[in-house]
Amino acid sequence: MSTTLAAGAGLDFTLAQQLTVIALCALTAYISHMALAVFNDGVRPFMLDFIQGRTTRSATTAVSFGLSAGFIFGLGAPMALSTGVLNPWLVFLPTDILGILAPKKWLAPILGGAWGAVVVFGLNGANNVAHDLPVDFLTAMQQMSTPILFLFSLFPVLAITKQFGRRWGGVAGVLELALVVMTMKLWPNMFAGALAMAAGVLMLIGLAVSKDVRQRRADRAANVEEVVLEDDPMASLFSASAARLRRYLPLFMVLGAGVCVLAQMHIFGGGEATSFLIAKGQYSEAAQVDFYRVFGFIPLIATTALASGAYGIAGFTLVYPIGYLMPNPFLAAVVGALVFAVEVLALSWIGRVLGKLPSVRDSSEHLRSAIGDTLQLAILFGSLMAANAMGGGLGILVVGGLYLLNEAMGRPVVKMAAAPAAVIVGGVLLNLLYWLDLFTPIKG
Residue 39 makes CB contacts below 8 A (sequence gap 6+) with 28, 88, 92, 93, 95, 96, 312, 313, 314
For 312, the 3-state DSSP assignment is strand
Does residue 9 sit within a domain?
Answer: no
Q: What is the pLDDT along the chain (444 residues), one digit of tens a residue?
A: 444 454 445 678 999 999 999 999 999 999 999 999 999 988 998 898 898 888 899 999 999 998 898 899 889 999 998 899 999 999 999 999 999 999 999 999 999 999 999 999 988 888 888 888 899 888 899 899 989 989 999 999 999 999 999 999 999 999 999 999 999 999 888 888 888 998 999 999 999 989 988 888 887 777 655 544 444 555 565 788 889 999 999 999 999 999 999 999 999 999 888 999 999 999 999 999 999 888 888 888 888 888 888 999 999 999 999 999 999 999 999 999 999 999 999 998 888 888 788 888 888 889 889 999 999 999 999 999 999 999 999 999 999 999 999 999 999 988 889 999 999 999 999 999 999 999 988 765
Does residue 3 sit within a domain?
Answer: no
Residue after which a domain boundary falls, among 190, 221, 252: 221
Same domain, 183 and 43: no
CA 433, 435, 436: angle at the middle one, nearest 5? 60
Residue after which a domain boundary falls, among 181, 203, 221: 221
Same domain, 325 and 360: yes
The whole-number pLDDT of residue 234 equals 52
Q: What is the DSSP letter of 441?
A: P
Does residue 373 sit within a domain?
Answer: yes
Does residue 414 sit within a domain?
Answer: yes
Same domain, 187 and 232: no
Same domain, 157 and 64: no
The whole-number pLDDT of residue 1 equals 45
The whole-number pLDDT of residue 188 equals 86
Does residue 7 sit within a domain?
Answer: no
> What's the Cα-to-Cα distance from 311 to each of 20, 103, 314, rounded to whole Å?
22, 21, 9
The whole-number pLDDT of residue 6 equals 42
Same domain, 378 and 415: yes
Same domain, 205 and 304: no
Give the span between the Cα atoms of 247 and 244, in whole angstroms. 5
Same domain, 137 and 274: yes
- CA–chain centroid gap for 14, Å, is 24
Same domain, 296 and 213: no
Does residue 55 sit within a domain?
Answer: yes
Same domain, 380 and 245: yes
Give yes or no for a contact between 161 and 169, defined as CB atoms under 8 angstroms apart: yes
Give yes or no for a contact between 233 and 189, defined as CB atoms under 8 angstroms apart: no
Residue after which a domain boundary falls, among 199, 221, 243: 221
Does residue 5 sit within a domain?
Answer: no
> What's the Cα-to-Cα distance from 4 to each of 9, 139, 244, 279, 374, rounded to whole Å?
11, 10, 46, 10, 20
Same domain, 69 and 109: yes
Provide the domain count of the chain: 2
Which residue from 210, 212, 176, 214 is spatially nearest to 195, judged by alpha carbons? 176
Domain that holds residue 377: 15-151+228-435
The whole-number pLDDT of residue 402 equals 96
Give the span between the Cα atoms of 246 and 230, in whole angstroms. 22
Does residue 63 sit within a domain?
Answer: yes
The whole-number pLDDT of residue 3 equals 46
Same domain, 139 and 158: no
Please return the burial class of 64, using the count of CB atoms within 10 Å of its CB with bins 0-12, 13-18 and 19+: buried
Same domain, 85 and 115: yes
